[in-house]
A and B are shown apart, each in its own frame.
Chain A
Amino acid sequence: MGSRVSQAIRRPRAFTSSYLMNQLVLRRPYVVAWWSAALPGFGHIMMCKYATGFLLMGMELVINVKAHLNSAILYTMLGEFHQAKITIDLRWILLYVGMYGFAIRDSYRVAIEVNQLYTLSDRGDAPIIPVKISALELNYLSLRNWRDVVLWSFLCPGAGHLYVNRIPTGFFILGWYLLVFYQSNLSRAILATFQGHFALATTLLKPEWLLFFPSIYGFAAHDAYLQAVELSKMFKSEQSRFLSENYQHRAIQLSTLQRKEVK
């Protein structure tokens, strides 16, 4: 027993708080790097490194908006290179370069190392606390339906994270979603589009904010999906561990059967 406890402290698998169950996860490093490239900070959030992720997301928001980077991307993609050049704010843009490179490279490194930690904890069979209750929230392992998670994330990015009880991520993604949805004037543009006023919708939209939207939308669904799958898996392994420890006193039934058959 003593050896298991010390092993648990050295190579833990998960930390249970009432606001989230933070855990080591297995992720493909290239997928993590891709999400960092889509929006710096997302890769770290995917690896459950939330403080780092939120910091990078905050920097991304400030620098991108101040440098008018999204507008410049839009003009570049549309072939209006001169317009792109005069749109970019030279006072801000160089700040982006180092942060962007770091986010991608570092999340790739983190993914590889956390995968190794995950493997170590899995082989050591590190224990998991299945329920945690605090004054304001409660958190427990259970089977989560990934279809529900994806549906809620598409209807309201961030809601899927609330479903899998990852309150900090839910808070940040909901906040970003709210800000981007409002600032890009998306609500009015959607209404105009569905009333057939396509030209009006296009002029209403603010590209420097709208271009954040696809990344938030896709990432919220992807990350929440992975967390749902992971939670279900952890529920199963925790339950399996509990049952094996408590309900395998003896295999009397089968040996009795054999004796009877021999007679």
Chain B
Amino acid sequence: MNVFATFRHSMYLEMAIIELEQRGIEQQNILVIPLDNQYTKSHDIVLTHRGDPIGIQFGFIFGTVFMLLGVIYGFVFKWGPVLWGMIGILTGGVLGYWLDLFLIKRNQNTIGLSEVILIVDCHQSMSSEVERILWGHRAVGVAKLQPKTS
């Protein structure tokens, strides 16, 4: 009997595997296949997805520049440097973040929800416990497969 599950990378994944082993499932009956997602596949990381460290993050940069301008001209404007600085960082931050979103839009839906495939080979008597352990450790999806005995 096979139990299939998909996971995202997390500590829970390893905890699930440890617990399966403690319940008597042997290591060679657990098959784990980490997937290459769109963003791990490419070495040309300059062109990749949201959250990648190599995006520019204009939000922080524009925020800083506008805040500096707000602080400087705040010394002559009525509301003073504090308010103008805050206005500056909000304006710059939002503007920059909007630009970031605009620049990476085309890659957004390439982010994988499932990052690891896990297959457990076990006796039928164990299968519901295996399933419970997998669900209990944040599996994205779980399915049991009973081979047809014709």
Contacts and interface: CB of A to CB of B under 8 A. Distances in A.
> Are these two chains actual partners, yes or no?
yes
Interface of A: 25-28, 31, 34, 38, 73-74, 77-78, 119, 122-123, 142-143, 146, 186, 189-190, 193, 198-199, 201-202, 205, 207, 210-211, 213-215, 217-219, 221-222, 225-226, 229-230, 233, 235-237, 239-240, 243-244, 246-254, 256-257, 260-261, 263
A78 B73 CA distance: 7
Interface string B125-150: 00000000000000000000101111
Contact of A26 (B53, B147, B148): B53
B94 interface: no
A189 B116 CA distance: 53
Given A78-B76, A189-B80, A247-B17, A229 B53 contact: yes
A interface secondary structure, majority: helix
Contact of A248 (B32, B73, B82, B88): B32
B28 A249 contact: yes
A229 B63 CA distance: 20
B148 A260 contact: yes
Given A190-B82, A244-B34, A77 B67 contact: no
Given A243-B116, A256-B147, A260-B148, A214 B76 contact: no
Nearest to B62: A218
Interface of B: 2, 9-11, 13-14, 17, 27-34, 40, 43, 45-46, 51-54, 56-57, 60-61, 63-65, 67-69, 71-76, 78-83, 85, 88-89, 115-116, 119, 121, 145, 147-150
3 smallest CB-CB distances across A and B, nearest first, come from: A218-B64, A240-B34, A222-B60
A26 B68 CA distance: 27
A207 B85 CA distance: 13
